[in-house]
Chain A
Amino acid sequence: MEQLTAVALVTLLAASAVELSGALPRLRAGYWLSAAAALAALAGFVWLLAAGGTVAFDLWSPAPSLDLRWHMDGLGAFLGAVVALVAVFSSVFAVRYSHPRRLDDAVYPLFLLSMIGVAGAGNVFSFFLMWELMALTSFLLVLGDGRSHTQRVAALLYLGMTHVATVLAMTSLLLLAHAAGSQEFGVMGSSAAAPGARTSLAMMLALAGFGTKAGLVPLHIWLPRAHPVAPSHVSALMSAAMVSTGIYGITRVGFDLLGPGEAWWGIALMVVGAITATLGILYALMERDMKRGLAYSTVENMGIVTLALGVALSFRAAGADGPAAAALMAGLVHTVNHSLLKSLLFLGAGAVQHGAHSLDLDRLGGLIRAMPLTGAAMLVGALGLASVPPLNGFVGEWMLARSLLSLAGSDASVVTGLVAAGALALLALTAGLALACFVRLFGMAFLGVARSVETRPVREAPTLMTLPLLGLALLSLAAGAGAPGLVRLLRGVPEALLSSRGASLEDAHRVALSGGGSFSPLVVALALLVLAPLPWILLRLSFGATSRKRAPVWTTGGSFAPTMQYSATSMSKPLRLFFKRVLLPERQVTVEYHGSSPLLRRVHYAGRVPAVVEERVYLPMHSLAIWSARRIRALQNGSVEFYLLYVFIALAALLAVAR
C-alpha cells in the first residue's frame, strides 16, 4: 500500500516534469504516466478499503508544526479510489483527445496529485496545501490558453469562489483544531467537542466551504460555467472526481471530526441537498449545450449525496447509528456511481465534439449511425443517471429513498420526519426530471436525424477514445448488477465512522440495509433479460415471422425535413412551462408590420431561461462591492498628509480600544 502510493505520487511528479521539459511531445508520455500512476493508486486504495485500517507516514517537515503528513483511513481511501478510478480513464482518453499544450500537459498530473493528496492528507496543514494546489491547477486547466472570453470569465469566477470557499472551510477546520489542541485529523477525531455554538459554527462553515466545491445551491454558480469550458478529460475529472472532494470534506467534518451533533444539522443538509438536486436537474433540462447540461446534472447529484449525508446526520443525532450508516452508505455508493457515469458522459461528450464538431443539442441528431460505440456507452451513462434499474444510478437512490422512509418513520422529531417526507417528494421529482433530462440529452444527440447539416462528416472517435468509454460503461453495468460487492467493499467506511456497517451482507446478491429493506439489482437484470425476449420468442412461434419494410418518416403527406423534428429546446418546453414559477423563463416576441397595413414583415422571437440565483443574488452583491469600493476610493487621494492622518487616527483608535 505505502509502496503503491509512493510509486503513484512519484510517477505523477515525473509525468509533470516530462511534459514541462517538452521532450517528445508526440509521445503523450505525461498522460500515459498519469494513467499508470492512477492505476497503481487505485490498486493501493482499493486494497486499503478491502483490508481496512489506516496507512500513515511523514513526508516532510519544512517548519515546526507544519508537517506534511500522509494519513489515509477508510474515508480517505474511498475518495482516493474515486479520484484514481476516474483518472485512469480520463488520462487514457486524453492521449488522443487533448491538444498538446505544454503548460496544460504539465499541470494535469499535478491536478491528479493534488486530489490524491487531499484524500491522503493527515492534518489541516497538508490538507489545505493540497486543497490549494487542487484549486490552482484546476484553475489553470479551466483557463487553458485563455483566448476566449467565456473561458476567462469562467476561470476567474471559479478562482474567486474557490478561494472564498477555502477561507470558510479553513476557518471550520482551524476552529476544530484549536478546540482539540492538535491539527492532526486522527487526534481531532478522537477528541470531538461537545455540541454547542462552536461545533455548529464549524459544521455550517464546512457545509458552505466544502459545499461550494460540491456545487450546492446557492454556491453552485461557478460549476456550470467552469466544468464545461475545460477540455473533456478535465471536465470529467472536475465533475466526477473534484466535486467528490467537497463531499469528502463535509463527511470528514460531520462524521469524523465532530461527534453526534444537533438535530438541525441534518435538517439543514437535507433541505440544501433536496433543493440543490431539484434545481440542478431543472436547469440541466433547460440547457442546449451538452456539457453544460452535464455540469448541472453534477449539481443535482451532489444534492442527492448531500441529502443522504443529511439523513445520516439526523439518524446519528438521534443515536440510531445503524440506519445512519445505511444512509451514509447510500451517499458513498451514489458518489461512486455518479463518478463512473459522469466521467463516462463527459468523455462521451468529448468524443461527440471530436466526431461531430458540435455539442449543441439543437443541432445534433442521428449520431448513433456514425458513432455506434460512443452511442452505446453513452446510453448506459444516460440511463444510469436517469436512475433506472438495474443500472447503478438506481442503487444509491433506492438506498436513499429507503433511508428517507425509515427516517420519516423513526422516533426522530416530527420536524425531521416532515422534512424527510418533503425530501422524498423532491427526490422522486428529481428522478422523474432526470429521466426526462437524459432521454432528451441522448435522444437529441444520437437519435433521429441531424437537425443542422454540418459541412464536416460525422465519424466515430478513435479506438483510444472509445475504449475508455466502453470500459466505464462496463464498469457501470457491473456496479449496478454487482452492487452488493460495492457495498461490501465500502462497508469499512461507515463502520469506522459510525461503528455500524450500514448494510448486512448475508445475502450474496442483495443489498440489505440496516434500517430494513432489501433489493437485488441482479434479479431485476435477470428478470428483464428473460421477460423482454420471451414475448418475442412466443409471438414468433405462434404467429410466425413477419416482414419489415423501410419507408420515409410519415409527415402527413409532405416531404421530410430535419427541422420538422423537435429540437432540444422544444423537447423541454412542457417542463419549462410546468415549472415557470421556479425557472422564470423570459420570452420576447416583436412583430413588425408593413407600415400601417396588417401585413406582417418580420416576427422576431427570443427566449431564455435566466440563471436566477446568479442574476438576483450575485449580481446585486457584485454591484454593491463595486459601489462601496468606489466610495472607499475617496480616501485614497495620494497626498502624504492624509495618509499620516489616517495612521494617527488608526493609532489613536487602537490605543483607545486597547488602553
Chain B
Amino acid sequence: MNDAAASVLLGAAQLLFLVAASPLLQGAIRKLKARLQSRQGPPLLQSYHDLAKLFSRSEMVSATASVFQLAAPWVVLGATLAAALYVPMFAATTPLTRDGDLLVVIGLFALARAALTLGALDSGSTFGHMGSSRELAVGALVEPALILGLGSLALATGTTRLGEIVAAGAHDGLGFFNLPWALALLALAVVTLAETGRIPVDNPDTHLEVTMIHEAMLLEHSGRSLGVLHLAAMTKQLLLACLIANLFFPTGLRADPGLASYLTGAALLVVKVSVVGVALAVVESIYAKMRLYELPDLIGSASLAGLVAMAITVWQR
C-alpha cells in the first residue's frame, strides 16, 4: 500500500471516529455530570437521538437572512473536520503530515469561528449578535494561550508538526514530563474549557441571555442546520480531547505504525479521552460560571502559564 492511499485511509478513519464517537463523549460527560449532581441525567446515547431528530426536521430561517446563515453550519463542520486531518489520533502521525502543522489547526479553528459568528450576525437577531460579540472576544483571548501552550511543546521538540511532537514526546520517555509540560497542559486545559463552551467560561445547559455565548449563536438555527452545528461542537470537543490526550500523554504511540499499533493507539486514545471527559465533567460540576468580564483573568493566566513554559524552554535550550 503506498503512502497516499495510507494517508487517505488514515484520514477517513480519523474523521469517522470523530463523527461517530463525539456524541458518545458528549453523552458520557452529561451523564457523569448528572450523576455527580445526584441526578439521573439523560441516557448515554441521547445525543444520537437528538441529532437524528434534528437532521430530519424542517428548518425555519430568519426572513432577513442571506446565504450566510444557510452556509455557516456546513463551513463550521467542514473546517473542524479539516483540522482533524492535522491532528495525530491513533499513532504519532497525521494524514497530512507535510501539509500543515499546529498553526494550521489553530487557523482552521479560527475559520470555523468566523463562519459561526458571521452566520449568527446574518439573522439580525439580538441574541445572535450578542453571542458573536462574546465568542469573538473570548476567541481573541484564547488565541495566545493556545499558541503558547502548543508552541512551548513545539519549541521543546523542535517541530511544529503535531505528529512529530507526539513522536518526539513518546521517544523522550519520562523526561518529557517536566515543568514546561505541566504549564503548557494548564494552558491547554483552560483553552479546552473555553473552546468547548464549558463552565466556567460558558454554560452549555442554559439559555439565559446574561450568560450564554455559544448557545446564543445557535438560537436562530433550527432543524438540520442546528443538528450540524451541534455535531460540529461535539466534534470539536472530541478533537480537542484527542489533541490534549495525545500531545501531553504520547507514551505508546508510534511514528511508523503497523495495523497492530494503530489498534493499540486507538485503544489508548479511548482510555485517554475518557479521562479527559471525566475531568471536564468534574470541573464543570465543582466550579461556578464566571462573569464574562472576569474571563480575561482566567484566560490571561493560561496565556501567562504558556509564556512561562516557553520562557523556561528558551532558558534551558
Contacts and interface: CB of A to CB of B under 8 A. Distances in A.
Interface stretch (A166-174, A213-221, A384-392): A384-392
A408 B108 contact: no
A444 B128 CA distance: 12
Contacts of B64: 366, 448-449, 553
B104 A519 contact: yes
Interface in B108-148: 108, 110-111, 113-114, 117-118, 121-126, 129-130, 132-134, 136-144, 146-148
B99 A552 contact: no
Contact of A523 (B15, B99, B228): B99
A549 B82 contact: no
Contact of A414 (B134, B141, B160, B314): B314
B118 A386 contact: no
A519 B100 contact: yes
Given A532-B74, A535-B78, A539-B55, A554 B220 contact: yes
A546 B126 contact: no
B158 A435 contact: no
Contacts of A564: 126
A560 interface: yes
Contact of B314 (A387, A421, A510): A421
B63 A544 contact: no
Interface stretch (B167-175, B238-246, B266-274, B303-311): B303-311
Nearest to A572: B133
A359 interface: no
A433 B132 contact: no
Interface string B54-78: 0111111111101010000011011
Give the most central of B126, B148, B295: most A CB within 10 Å. Answer: B126
Given A414-B314, A536-B74, A555-B125, A577 B130 contact: no
B155 A405 contact: yes
Interface string A324-343: 00000000000000000000
A517 B164 CA distance: 11
B117 A553 contact: no
Contacts of B59: 546-549
B140 A425 contact: no
Contact of A571 (B118, B129, B147): B129
Contacts of A447: 66, 68, 118, 121-122, 124
Nearest to A398: B103
Nearest to B96: A523
Given A546-B58, A572-B133, A532 B78 contact: yes
Nearest to B296: A578
A424 interface: yes
B147 A425 contact: yes
A649 interface: no
Interface string A506-519: 01001000001111
Contacts of A238: none
Contact of A424 (B66, B101, B147): B147
B124 A532 contact: no
A428 B155 contact: no
Give the most central of A421, A444, A528: most B CB within 10 Å. Answer: A421
B108 A524 contact: yes
Given A424-B151, A518-B98, A528-B78, A577 B110 contact: no
Nearest to A554: B125
Nearest to B74: A532
B154 interface: yes
A386 B140 contact: no
Contacts of A411: 317
**Interface majority SS on B: helix, strand, loop or mixed?**
helix
Given A435-B139, A524-B82, A531-B78, A553 B220 contact: yes
B252 interface: no
B81 interface: yes
B100 A524 contact: yes
Contacts of A552: 62-63
Given A417-B314, A546-B224, A571-B132, A443 B58 contact: no
Contacts of B129: 448, 565-566, 570-571
Interface in A416-438: 417-418, 420-422, 424-429, 431-433, 435-436
B66 A369 contact: yes
B24 interface: no
A383 B75 CA distance: 13
A557 B123 CA distance: 16
Nearest to B133: A571
A366 B69 CA distance: 13
A191 B291 CA distance: 61
A491 interface: no
B104 A389 contact: yes
A573 interface: yes
Nearest to B71: A532
Contacts of B96: 520, 523, 527
B125 to A, nearest CB: 5
A544 B56 contact: yes
Interface in B212-240: 219-220, 223-224, 228, 231
Closest 7 CB pairs of A and B: A532-B78, A432-B143, A432-B140, A566-B129, A443-B121, A574-B137, A436-B136
Interface of A: 365-366, 368-369, 383, 386-389, 394, 398, 401-402, 405, 408-409, 411, 414, 417-418, 420-422, 424-429, 431-433, 435-436, 439-440, 442-444, 447-449, 507, 510, 516-520, 523-524, 527-528, 531-536, 539, 542-544, 546-555, 560, 562, 564-566, 570-575, 577-578
27 contacts: A366-B64, A398-B103, A408-B314, A417-B314, A420-B314, A429-B143, A432-B140, A436-B139, A440-B136, A443-B122, A443-B132, A444-B121, A448-B122, A517-B101, A520-B96, A527-B82, A531-B79, A532-B75, A543-B224, A544-B56, A546-B56, A553-B64, A554-B62, A555-B126, A565-B126, A571-B133, A574-B134
Given A429-B141, A555-B126, 5 more contacts: A414-B314, A449-B64, A517-B101, A524-B108, A578-B137
